[in-house]
Amino acid sequence: MKTRLFIGALGAVFAMGSAQASGYPDRTIKVLVGYSAGGAGDTIARIVTGAMSQVLGQPIVVENKAGAGSSIASNAIATAPKDGYTLGLATGNIYGVDQLVYKVSYKPEDFTPINRLASYPLILAVNPEKGPKTFQAFMAKAKANPGTMFYSTSGIAGSPHTSSVMLQDLMGTEFTHVPFKGGKGALLAVAAGDVDFSMGTAPSVLPLGRGDKVRMLAVSTAERSQLAPNLPTISESGLPGFEFSFWFGLFGPAGLAPDVTQKLADAVAVVLNDPEVQKRLIAAGSEAGPFASPAQFEAFARKNGAQVLEGVKKAQAVK
């Protein structure tokens, strides 16, 4: 009830400021999600779009099109009608990683960035008995013993692998990669002491950390995370400049009308300022992350996408 009242009040303000695109939307909006039902991306999409439908006054239906690292859904977004009724969830991978890894035909210019929905950090996790107790001790060990520390990931060129390669490069040392088929196995290897560490996603690491199955040393984001406010960042812990996060944004096809784009971006901002929506996202292991305008979101997405692409290229090279 509180959420409905909060969104209703903000929605009234939103409507007053959205005279442009006044006829939009007048029917159901479809949001494509390139992940299976129940996964992180799907959960975020359903939380946000469910609240957006109250603001926009029309139903929003999530359609799952999983496969090929979400590139199947991204291709459907890029080729959708430019009327604002087919949108989709996407990540910075559309800015180069998909083209490199999945050989897709779409380009960054084939999308209209609307707004970021949510993001979450990766968390550096070590074995609670064998591992270092602080990031500073971890870094000292890594620098003193290049090539002898083993790390597990969910697979080659994924976020845990890419961030670990970026970490070793900035640290000026070398780690040895042990890829698994999925994040669960990678983190269980840390808990068992079979590998030295893993850069796991927050939704995967936090339950193990809170259960003392792994020790959490630091988060990968530039600032501390609401998901684990007591954990320091890697940057503040002795490696200035390190930053890595995983995020989901709302996109449309290229050529989406500017007034429609702005109306959707404003709707995202309205719902992500709702404390109840924020709580639901945090419970799902992510944080609300809207930008003030589509232009700001696009600038961030392009810069972040280029950084991740460079990291993926290095990750593919080192395997």
**Length, in residues, of the chain:** 319
276-303 burial string, b = 16+ CB within 10 Å, else e?
A: bbbebbbebbbbbbbbeebeebbebbee
* Cα–Cα nearest to 110, from 75, 60, 157: 75
- Rounded to an integer, what distance in angstroms lies between the CA atom of residue 19 and that of residue 240? 45
Please check the confidence at residue 144 and state whether its pLDDT lies above 50: yes
pLDDT at 84 over 50: yes
The CATH architecture of the domain made up of 121-244 is: 3-Layer(aba) Sandwich (3.40)
DSSP string, 173-241: ---EEEE-SSHHHHHHHHHHTSSSEEEEEHHHHHHHHHTTSSEEEEESSSS--TTSTTSPBTTTTT-TT
The CATH architecture annotation of domain 2-120+247-315 reads: 3-Layer(aba) Sandwich (3.40)
CB 153 within 8 A of CB 160: yes
Lowest mean pLDDT among 9-13, 93-97, 196-200: 9-13
Residue 162 has pLDDT above 60, yes or no: yes
Question: Where in the chain is CATH 3.40.190.150?
Answer: 2-120+247-315
Average pLDDT, the chain: 91
Residue range(s) of every CATH 3.40.190.10 domain in the chain: 121-244
pLDDT of 96 strictly over 60: yes
Q: Residues 203-210: what's their mean pLDDT?
A: 92
Tens-place pLDDT, residues 297-316: 999 999 999 989 998 888 87
Q: How confident is the model at residue 39 (pLDDT cuts 50, 70, 90)?
A: confident
| Predicted TM-score (pTM) of this structure | 0.84
Q: What is the predicted pLDDT for the residue at 19?
A: 42
Q: What pLDDT, in 10s, does the model give residues 258-272?
A: 999 999 999 999 999
- Dihedral pair phi/psi, residue 312, rounded to 5°: -65, -40
Candidates 257, 201, 260; CA nearest to 227 is: 201
pLDDT of 3 > 80? The answer is no
